[in-house]
């Protein structure tokens, strides 16, 4: 979902009907941008609240979310330390580093010079050098 925002009870019930277990407010954009930049990406999701579906829990509040965020900070640091130690050696063939190899569908002669310059850091390895 687009966030930060608290769900309405109706939205929360829709997510539950879809069997959604975690609602992330930034993951979609981050994952898409990482893919386009050919960067390996993973999500570490730490719960801040039950959303409004859980009738036995207190309603979601900014204070409660911030309290849980602070408590999650140490857990996140420990998880990241463990994840970094478990990363494969550099150069492992996961495919992320070549995600754009077959994604450029614009005819090369239709890519404007300013767009090519702006996106060069991502696209240069796939585009032939232009002669002056």
pLDDT of 67-125, one tens digit each?
888 989 999 999 999 998 988 777 667 888 888 888 889 998 899 999 999 999 988 98
* Interatomic CA distance for residues 40 and 96, integer angstroms: 6
Question: What percentage of residues in the chain have a pLDDT greater than 90?
Answer: 23
pTM of the model: 0.63
- Known catalytic residues are 49, 51
Cβ proximity of 48 and 72 under 8 Å: yes
> Which pLDDT score, from 0 to 100, does residue 91 have?
65
Give the confidence band of 1 by pLDDT, cuts at 50, 70, 90: low
Average pLDDT over residues 12-18: 87
Q: What is the mean pLDDT of the chain?
A: 83
């Amino acid at each position: 979902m687009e966030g930060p925002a608290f769900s309405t009870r109706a939205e929360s019930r829709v997510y539950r009907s879809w069997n959604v277990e975690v609602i992330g407010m930034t993951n979609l954009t981050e994952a898409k941008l990482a893919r386009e930049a050919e960067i390996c990406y993973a999500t570490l999701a730490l719960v801040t609240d039950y959303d409004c579906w859980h009738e036995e829990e207190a309603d979601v509040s900014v204070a409660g979310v911030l309290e849980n965020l602070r408590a999650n900070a140490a857990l996140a640091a420990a998880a990241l330390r463990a994840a970094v130690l478990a990363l494969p050696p550099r150069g492992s063939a996961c495919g992320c580093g070549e995600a754009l190899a077959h994604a450029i569908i614009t005819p090369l002669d239709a890519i404007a010079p300013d767009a090519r310059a702006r996106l060069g850091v991502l696209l240069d390895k796939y585009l032939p050098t232009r002669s002056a």
